[in-house]
Structure 1
Amino acid sequence: MSLPPTYVEGFHDKKSVLQMEYTTLGKTGLKVSKLAFGAAPLGGAATYGEYLEEEAINTVREAIRKGINYIDTAPVYGQGRAEELLGKALAGVPREAYYISSKVSRYERLGSKELVKSEESIFSGFEQTLKNLGLDYVDIVIVHNVEYSPMEVVLNMFIPALAKLIKQNKARHLGLSAYPISPMCEIIEKSAIPIEVIISYSRDVIFDSSLQEYIPFFQSRGIGIINAAITGMGILTLEGPPAWHPATTELIAICKKAAEYAKEKGVELGNLSVGYSLQQPGAQTHLVGMNDRKILQKNLNTLKGLSEEEKNILREIKQIFFNSGQNFHWEEVKGKQEKYRKYLENVKTS
């Protein structure tokens, strides 16, 4: 086993880094850890609940020290709060020790919450992102939730603007994120500017394997694949999803029963979910939201693989609760995506 380019002697726990699996993210050349750090839980009460700031800062630093070298965030997470917290945490970390992505979307978050209407608003918003993070550049800049913008706006405004950020050395690689996967494929085919990375979320989990259908498409184009929200944005946990979660009441109820079943068997559905997704082929890295070291350590332990008992319980859960022969998702559920859209548009720092 070899050390990744992000290894920094004297900072990293070398033993942990050697135990981490790293894979090159498409054609970017970035050698990313199999387990990645999702910063959405750093957004505060409006996203996934409150947290202890000092503990969260220590969690970020400990994650990197133990070999997690990719972090993803977005300005919509707590209206910049997640980025600001990361900025505090990363101030004590060598810049070469990690890769980081943040996003640009149609949602302005500089106070007015107006829709992004121009390149200038994209650039000013991104400058605030860099200021929040305390960085000169991010490794990947991503068009966030492309399904909420008209295709022509993504192609003719967002992507060219992000390409300019890359030319200005404020970002290095360009990506897309979305819940429905097909719009990303269409944008990739139509864009005159190459897309290097995609983030797909809640689409390669216990109840939905939709991402697997698209992996050959992305691989054929050398696009890096990031699998995010592998607990389904909290729906596959005993605590359950946040109030804004766009899933149907039926799916939420099924997942709650599955979580209770897992608890009766002496395991956590969240751990099973993370373990399941980590073993699926195709994606180079898997984003898991974290804001304390207990969660971090659980995920690092799960990275080593599920026990035979856990695998058996996971098979039982899939058979009992998700064996309908179809994928469960909320892509075309009337009203549910609007609920999530309003959350994105109105979220406030608590």
Structure 2
Amino acid sequence: MKTRKLGKTALDVPVLSFGASSLGSVFRDIDRDEGIRTVHAAIDAGMNYIDVSPYYGLTKAETVLGEAVRTLPRSSYTLSTKAGRYGENEFDFSRKRILDSVQESMGRLHTDYIDILFLHDIEFVAPEIIIEEAFPTLLDLKEQGVIRYAGICGLPLPLFEKMLPQLDADAIISYCHYALNDTSLLSLLPLLEEKGVGLVNASPLSMGLLSTRGTPDWHPAGDRVKELCLKAARFCEEQGSNIAKLAVQFSTANEQIPTTLVSSASQQNIMNNAAWVEEPLDQKLLEEVLHILAPLNNETWPSGRPEYNVHSSITPNSSKGEQQ
């Protein structure tokens, strides 16, 4: 699979990478063996950058992933995990908790170092906690060789605009902002380029918005967004295609987006996703789908503290994290 450089890091990442949230039974219940087979299929297909978090499935995702990779050479995959978020409303970005969390994660993942450690969904805490305590802790871990690179992740784009000038971050994870229904992530690219920050794009299906199954009940998007995304998905189906295929191809085609995370605990789904990247994009179908979604105009939803959602007039609520 084609690779791209991740910012100023020494990492070359595949254009399509494996988001391991699904291993935590986030979308549906999965068994350990099914999860292990899926991870192996992803790596075999060239999706050898894997992202996980102790939050996904309350450590189940890390545990299953650890079982999957423990027999593989550590040099055969790039691994990122997170610290700071441990439950739906459980956040702890203190130095002690981060240090403990990294050791716990490495134990579950059967590794003695993490390629990238991200602070998870930082929009839910005051900025001074991140700037004065949490991120300096990551820099200490980096200096010690426990982690190779340090980053942050979250939903609102204003979050990165506010925080990146104050942090020496190597990478970020942004989700639901570079997909068929929302390309507002493009507005952040000049800042990322200026600072040499690596970009990991996640949720090309907008956490299930772009699906003929209909959006999950917990999804925070508004009704109009859900209706138009479902309309677009059904249109693709009527044309004999799959909106998931179009979404993955669209997200990975942009040379300015180093990598996109997809998450599935289905071995066949992962193999399909990897194969789609190699196939030509149906430009006519893309134009028709973008036309259907055009009225949304990058409409999103708030997450976390109000100061990180300056462009939103809706009351903030909790987000499910960067799921597909």
- Judge same fold: TM > 0.5, yes or no: yes
Q: Name the SS of the counterpart of 1:123 in structure 2.
A: helix
TM-score, structure 1 as length reference:
0.84
Gaps of 5+ in 1: 1-19, 345-350
Where does residue 133 of structure 1 map in the other structure?
109
Where does residue 50 of structure 1 map in the other structure?
29
Equivalent position to 1:284, from 239, 258, 267:
258
Instruction: Tell me by how many angstroms 1:117 deviates.
Output: 5.9
Runs of 4+, deviation exceeding 4 Å: none
Query: C-alpha offsets along residues 82-101 of structure 1, whole Å, 9 cap, x if unaligned?
Result: 10010010012110001110
Instruction: Tell me by how many angstroms 1:114 deviates.
Output: 5.0
Query: C-alpha offsets along residues 59-106 of structure 1, whole Å, 9 cap, x if unaligned?
Result: 11121122222100111111111100100100121100011100112x
Whichever residue aligns with residue 13 of structure 2, its letter is V
CA distance in 2: counterparts of 1:216 and 1:114, whole angstroms: 33
Instruction: Tell me by how many angstroms 1:41 deviates.
Output: 1.1
Gaps of 5+ in 2: 303-311
Q: In the alignment, is residue 161 of structure 1 matched against residue 137 of structure 2?
A: yes
The answer to whether the 8 Å contact 1:55/1:291 transfers is yes
Equivalent position to 1:60, from 19, 28, 39:
39
Where does residue 60 of structure 2 map in the other structure?
81
Q: In the alignment, is residue 316 of structure 1 matched against residue 296 of structure 2?
A: no
CA distance in 1: counterparts of 2:79 and 2:144, whole angstroms: 17
Equivalent position to 2:151, from 146, 153, 175:
175
The answer to whether the 8 Å contact 2:3/2:14 transfers is yes
Whichever residue aligns with residue 66 of structure 1, its letter is A
Question: What count of residue pairs does the alignment treat as equivalent?
Answer: 312
The answer to whether the 8 Å contact 2:93/2:134 transfers is no
Equivalent position to 2:197, from 199, 219, 223:
223
CA distance in 2: counterparts of 1:74 and 1:330, whole angstroms: 22
Alignment of 1:260-279 (within 5 A): 260-279=234-253
Whichever residue aligns with residue 93 of structure 1, its letter is L
In structure 2, the CA distance between the partners of 1:253 and 1:188, relative to structure 1 (3 Å rule), is: same
Where does residue 314 of structure 2 map in the other structure?
334
CA distance in 1: counterparts of 2:301 and 2:44, whole angstroms: 37
Percent of residue pairs bearing the same amino acid type: 30
In structure 2, the CA distance between the partners of 1:118 and 1:221, relative to structure 1 (3 Å rule), is: closer
Q: In the alignment, is residue 30 of structure 1 matched against residue 11 of structure 2?
A: yes
Where does residue 185 of structure 1 map in the other structure?
161
Query: C-alpha offsets along residues 202-236 of structure 1, whole Å, 9 cap, x if unaligned?
Result: 10111111111111210121111111111111111
Q: Name the SS of the counterpart of 2:231 in structure 1.
A: helix
The answer to whether the 8 Å contact 2:93/2:129 transfers is no
Whichever residue aligns with residue 269 of structure 1, its letter is I
Where does residue 116 of structure 1 map in the other structure?
92
Whichever residue aligns with residue 54 of structure 2, its letter is P
CA distance in 1: counterparts of 2:270 and 2:146, whole angstroms: 29
The answer to whether the 8 Å contact 1:140/1:172 transfers is yes
Q: Name the SS of the counterpart of 1:219 in structure 2.
A: helix
Q: CA RMSD in A?
A: 1.9
Whichever residue aligns with residue 76 of structure 1, its letter is Y
CA distance in 1: counterparts of 2:267 and 2:181, whole angstroms: 27
